[in-house]
Amino acid sequence: EGWVFSATFVDPARLTTAAGFVRSFKKRYGVRSVDRGAAEAYDALGLLAQVLATTGTGPADRGTLTHRLRTASYRGITRTYAFRAPTGEVEEEPGLFLWRVEHGTPLFLGQYQQAKL
């Protein structure tokens, strides 16, 4: 009880940027809440779609896609996705979120630099 922990996933129901996604997800699947990780999966697909759109109409090889992915930046519904040059590692800082356990249930507090403890 009262524990605070960090995670890379959000509660999309508590993000204004994900409101449309939450409404659509609930309607499409007939559920009362969005599964953990669904918003991040949606963002990952959006990032990949953005990269694929830059490859033109012909086939793209794995190397080209990997290079374009590692140099891309994408503003998703949960956060901005970007990669460090020259390593291509994921920029982790904007993707860390705080949660606090209240009454035995994790409560999403927000992005770690902005969350109010």
Greater confidence, 9 or 85?
A: 9
* Percent of the chain residues topping a pLDDT of 70: 99
Kindly state the DSSP code that residue 90 receives in the 8-state scheme. Answer: B
Domain ranges in the chain are 13-90
- Which spans in the chain are helix H? 19-29, 38-53, 62-70
Question: What's the pLDDT tens digit per position in 76-96?
Answer: 999 999 988 888 888 876 788
pLDDT > 80? residue 106 = yes
Question: What's the pLDDT tens digit per position in 53-74?
Answer: 887 777 778 888 888 888 899 9
